[in-house]
Structure 1
């Protein structure tokens, strides 16, 4: 039996890296007495996988990880027990059962994520909505993506699914996952350069609102649904 856990990560917890977050949840699951399954062998470990780990410095309302259970536990009870073990900045939102097949694994089905980006330093033009609309209307938005070994120019426009102004902040829905993954920093940096400014003049904080999977549909239009929508509550 497999379960998907959704959690929020805010406050000082944004400075904690993925490996430490994983260790944190391993301890919390033990203390909450969640019946999690372990691998076999000489060095057994909890069967746990994160959908799309968040970068250091970002906050989120839509983080997910999957676990395997040895026995059933009610969703509400699991959420209650886990939240009793959470520290400030961490909150369990939901606990749902997901299909046992490998195709349902969170890390393999992530297709998108949405973010709300707020100005940290500097300022944006008063006509932000109009400028964003014009920026998004471009046929190409080319940026230089850096890896450990090389740099290459990439057109990120096809990876931006939605871009608009919300209460003076930049809302975006972008590609995420193993096939395509667009960091919000690349979008805001490209936008600042589009405005004719240096990327260091205006910096942002990024908050992930949700993580999505692509829903099955008969049309060519892509439909994204939150990862926890693909599970069912355990009673």
Structure 2
């Protein structure tokens, strides 16, 4: 059975890279006593995949991991879950998980560390794609670490920025430097009442927009407005806004249940159900 785990990453854990997070969960799953499935072959490993690796230094309230757990007959399973499964197979042949989603969530939190919190555990339908292939968009909140600073200098120019037919930026990839148009991948962008910058952008494998690309495009577009707004700040004259001055938070990761022309974004855990 495929299970999707949603978790938050914050505090000192923001400095832990993706590979170490993956190793942490491999150990946490064993310590929690979850009967996870392993791959076959000479070097078996837990069947596990992550939606989208989080950059070092970023917080997140919406990270996702898919695992595959073994199943067994369990007469203690709730009547609601059994009824829904019996619609697909005879009762005597229904394979049920060895523990409920609430129990799995509780056990993982008990063996977790400060900075990683399990938020939900959901069973996925067989038709669901894996977490990484399902990612279509992500929502971010960005704010200055210095509480005296904010993004209100964008209030008078954000509408003009989004009205551009194209927003070209230079993107560095493994294959070299290329040009990328951000405009089609920006679904929402606004400055909140408290001066934070909030945006919903394309996070798919084909058009992934990293927050830094959008932030620096806005920084350059603001031009004179940010020069006067940040008068006296050492980085006001710089072409790009030093990301060390900001705290980036990935609020949620979405899949698209609509079409490419008319997307309908829903959180990745909404395609599953508790068990």
Task: Please indicate, yes or no, whether the TM-score normalized by the shorter chain is above 0.5.
Answer: yes
1:53 and 1:185 mapped to 2: Cα distance?
Answer: 15
Are 1:140 and 2:166 matched, yes or no? yes
The size of the alignment, in residue pairs, is: 232
CA contact (8 A) 2:123 2:272 kept: yes
2:169 and 2:33 mapped to 1: Cα distance?
Answer: 47
CA contact (8 A) 1:48 1:68 kept: yes
1:86 and 1:134 mapped to 2: Cα distance?
Answer: 45
Are 1:211 and 2:260 matched, yes or no? no
By how many angstroms is 1:127 displaced? 4.5
Aligned residue for 2:26? 26
When Rg is computed on C-alpha atoms for both structures, the one with the higher figure is 2
Aligned residue for 1:11? 11
Please give the secondary structure, in 1, of the residue aligned with 2:21: helix
Judging changes above 3 Å, is the alpha-carbon distance between structure 1 residues 126 and 21 closer, same or farther for their aligned structure 2 residues? closer
For the aligned residues, what is the CA RMSD? 1.9
Aligned residue for 2:126? 100
CA contact (8 A) 1:76 1:95 kept: yes
Aligned residue for 1:150? 176
By how many angstroms is 1:198 displaced? 2.7
Matches within 5 A, 1:71-82: 71=71, 72=97, 73-82=99-108
CA contact (8 A) 2:150 2:196 kept: no
Q: Which ranges of structure 1 fall in alignment gaps of 5 or more residues?
A: none
CA contact (8 A) 1:133 1:163 kept: no
54-63 or 131-140, larger mean C-alpha shift = 131-140
2:183 and 2:221 mapped to 1: Cα distance?
Answer: 13
Q: Which ranges of structure 2 fall in alignment gaps of 5 or more residues?
A: 72-96, 224-236
Are 1:130 and 2:156 matched, yes or no? yes
